[in-house]
Every structure is written in structure tokens, then in C-alpha cells.
Structure 1
Amino acid sequence: MTIFSTAQHIARTTRRDPRGHMIPLMLGCAVASGAITLVAYLLWPTWEADVSSAPARLPVSIGATIFNVPPTAVRMKIQRHSGPQERVDLSFSFPSLEAPEAPKHFSADTVEDAIQPIDRIFVSISAHHDSLAPDTRVRTIYPRYLEQAAAPAQDGLTERAFRDGSPYGNEDLFLADAPGLNARCTRDAATPGMCLSERRVEGADLMFRFPRSWLAHWRDVADAMDRLTQQLHGPKG
């Protein structure tokens, strides 16, 4: 009705003064433009800018066992989805145990400057398919390949060397009771030594990897593995 009345008014004004229709026409255009702008604002999609809708945790099933993993901690993009999976590889900042930020990209000129000490603990969760349990391996398999002599315990941590020529040559086994810790570590050489510690949670095995140098504060490392296990799966039953 407003547009129709405006048109009638313009027609009457034009007959009296051919130039008199300009002002009403400009007013009509301004009103129409404002209406279009308002409708466009109200209908403009805003969901793309809402990054808070991303899930804080992804429920994944590994070995028929449910784990809740932070999406940003998943190291491989193909694994970054919920549902059944055979394996998921994660990393967490240490000692905060927060999911790390997205990696930065470096050029060939700056890659040497980008090399930094490892500050992450890596976790791989995989279905074990009834293979030998990690704690059973520590009790029954590893002792077959250890040197007879054991180094004196340092701050509650015992170190045993594997024999040269054995399947675990150039590695050492570290054991502690309180808190519980077992880790098989390579020795420092051209590259820093790394440690591997495993534990079983229902149908899946968790494999933790971290620098051997962290064993200077082994209680913090043992606590970190306990905390990550609880964060990913829940408290021990």
C-alpha cells in the first residue's frame, strides 16, 4: 500500500511540476534500500564464524573400548573423527598435558632455528587383539634379555641394561614401584634417547613415548601417564 500511494503521489506531482517527482522518488529509494539492508542483515548466515561449536572431545572406540580424545591432540587428520578406529595417535604438551597448538610452518632458511627440545608426550592407542599384555611382557619376556648386574636404584628408579645382540640391544629398562613405572629406553647417541611405556585398558593398549632425559623427574612422568589415562578413558575401575 505504501509503494502504491507513493506512486500515485509522484504521478500527481509530475503533472504539476515535471521536476517535483525527484524528491519523493529519492525518499522511496532510500526507504527501499534500508529495508533490503535490514533483511540481508537478519538473514546473513553466522554459523561459519562460530568456532565454539567444535566438540571439545571426540568419542572413539578402539578395541571396543571408549576413549574421549581432544581433536587438536590427534596427530593425523585421517584419525580426527568419532566412532570405531583401529588406532589413534595423540600428543600433549608436557607438563601441562594440554592439547598442543597447530604446528607452525617453516621455510628452508628457518628450519634450523625451528628445532627445539621435545616438550611433548606422545600417546598411541591401539586395539591389542588379545596379544601379550604389557605388564606380562615386563615380568616374563624382558628378564630373559637383561644383563645380570643391575645398577643401584637412583631416587627409587632401577635401571637394567639389555644384553648386546638381544632384540633390545642398545636399550635399558627402568622400573619403579611407587608410583609404578616401567619404561624401555634407547640410549643417547646421535639423537637423544627415547622411552616407551605401555599399559592396557580393557581392549586397547596405550603406548607412551617421551625423551629419556625426562627420567631425571620420573615421578612427574609417571603421574602424567596416569593423568592422561584417566583423562582419555576415566578412572581405574
Structure 2
Amino acid sequence: MGHAGKDTLKEHERPLLSKRTKLAIAALVMCLVLLSLLLFLLRDTIGHTLMRGDSSELETPHHITVGLDALLIEENAIRFDKQRHDGHAPRIDLALMWPEMRGYSLNNRNRFDDPTQTHRLIFLQITQSTMSLDMSGRIGPIYSQLFDGAPFAGPYGLTAHHLRPGSGYDGETLFTAARPGDTDYAIRCMNDAASDAQAIDDCQRDIRIGKDLSVLYRFSRKNLMDWQKIEQAVVAYMNQRLLTAGN
């Protein structure tokens, strides 16, 4: 057999994978096995982190100034990471468990992550006031001009007012209630037909707090039966976190 034949035979006898390539593949397989094992061992921690999303379980208080008012608010109550800092802020968004009025924690993470439980949350949006009237103050000068038909008895001791189509409040009903010694209560809610069954914030009301704060709070219509308790709880929560000259 000539040299050409021998060279061809040697080519056929060579292994398809070199020793170095086999070692590299073995090392890669080992790394993948170790990574899989690590992910398995850390599955709970990783799962909690993914479920938590933008939430924080820290109760560190942040000194935040909005307009003319200074507040001290726990980090786990603040919804968005970019708002969790001391100093001035144009707006603060909070998510609180109802009725506890506390922020996020790992023990209660399902209240924030499970769609079947998130209706048990209250959302607050804190800004400097841009209007001289809160929702109660707007009943006479604004909302009454938009009523569609006569008022009628609503649920839980409230009076219901349909709002005229095309008024900017399509699909909403304004509920009001007289409060002796105080302005009438007012809250807007999506109508049952327009509201998502899983909606967590289809009722909203805004109030004035402190020197010049507007607090818009939202909750599920499923909690409308607690409208008086929710109002009292929101006012108490905000007043407890307002910093005055004496604090």
C-alpha cells in the first residue's frame, strides 16, 4: 500500500473528537449539572424574589418631602423602588394591606402577588395639591352638573348618582353620604358591568391632608362595604406619618 493509502487509513482511524474537546465537553456538562443543582437548592429564594418583583420587605423609614409636607414612610409600604429614598419627591405611591394598613412582607406576599387576594389591598397616591377642592368639595360645583337622572339608594348606606355619558366619567357611578359635622363623603366606582371581576382598584377617592397634600386612594369595589372604616384608616395612617415642627 502506498503512502497515500496509509494517510487515508490514518484519517479514518482518527477519533471524531479530540481528547481536548472531550475534556471541554465534560467540563461543560459538569458546570450545567452544578448550575442545575444550585438552582434547585435556591429555588425558594429565587421564587420569592421573582414573586416579590419591585416590592421590598424592609421597614426602614424614609424621610420624604412632598410639596410643603414632610413624611416618614416605611420602605415596604412604597410600591416602586425608584421612590424609596429620602429627600424631595413629586409623588409617592403606596400599597397597603387591608385592614392591617401595613406594607409588603414575605409572610404576606400572596396578598400582593395572588390575583385572588389582591383585592385586599389599598393603594395610595400622595402628591402636592393641584386643586383647591377634594372629591367631597367637588360634589356641588362639578359632579352635580354631570348627574344623569335622579339619585337613588346605593349599597351600604350610600346614595348613587349616575354620571352623564361623555362627561369623562363613562362607566362610573358617584356614591355620596352625609356625614354630620363634616363634608359629604364622595367616591367614584366603576359600574358592575364595566368593572373587571378581578379589579383591585375600581373605586377611588381623594382627600386633603396636612398643609397641602392630596391623597388619592383606591380599592376594590368588593370592599365598598367598609367605606367608613377605610376613610378613617387612611386619614389616621397619613396623620401618623406626617412630620410636624414638634416631631
Superposition map of 1:1-237 within 5 A: 56-101=60-105, 114-117=114-117, 118-128=119-129, 130-134=130-134, 135-152=136-153, 154-178=155-179, 181-188=185-192, 189=194, 191-192=196-197, 194-201=202-209, 202-233=211-242
Sequence identity (%): 25
The one-letter code sitting in structure 2 at the alignment partner of 1:230 is N
Q: Deviations over 1:145-180 (max 9, x none)?
A: 112311125543211111122211110111123386
SS at match of 1:167: coil
Cα deviation for residue 133 of structure 1 reads 2.2
Cα deviation for residue 219 of structure 1 reads 2.2
Task: Check conservation: 2:156, 2:225, Cα contact below 8 A.
Answer: no
- TM-score scaled by structure 2? 0.62
The higher radius of gyration belongs to 1
- CA separation of 1:219/1:200 partners in 2, compared to 1, >3 Å: closer, same or farther? closer
Between the aligned partners of 1:184 and 1:155, the Cα distance in structure 2 is 14
**Count of aligned positions:** 174
Q: Deviations over 1:58-86 (max 9, x none)?
A: 12100121112111011110100111110
Between the aligned partners of 2:187 and 2:160, the Cα distance in structure 1 is 10
Higher relative contact order (CA 8 A, sep 6+): 2
Cα deviation for residue 127 of structure 1 reads 1.7
- CA separation of 1:226/1:104 partners in 2, compared to 1, >3 Å: closer, same or farther? closer
Structure 1 unmatched runs, 5+: 1-53, 106-110
Structure 1 moving runs of 4+ over 6 Å: none
Cα deviation for residue 55 of structure 1 reads 6.2
- CA separation of 1:190/1:226 partners in 2, compared to 1, >3 Å: closer, same or farther? closer
SS at match of 1:125: strand
Task: Check conservation: 2:69, 2:243, Cα contact below 8 A.
Answer: no
Task: Check conservation: 1:181, 1:222, Cα contact below 8 A.
Answer: no
SS at match of 2:168: coil
Between the aligned partners of 2:83 and 2:95, the Cα distance in structure 1 is 13
- TM-score scaled by structure 1? 0.65
Between the aligned partners of 1:164 and 1:222, the Cα distance in structure 2 is 28
Between the aligned partners of 2:138 and 2:60, the Cα distance in structure 1 is 35
SS at match of 1:199: strand
- CA separation of 1:211/1:83 partners in 2, compared to 1, >3 Å: closer, same or farther? same
- CA separation of 1:211/1:234 partners in 2, compared to 1, >3 Å: closer, same or farther? farther
Structure 2 unmatched runs, 5+: 1-57
Q: Deviations over 1:96-135 (max 9, x none)?
A: 1111225869xxxxx9xx432311100010122x434214
Cα deviation for residue 56 of structure 1 reads 3.9
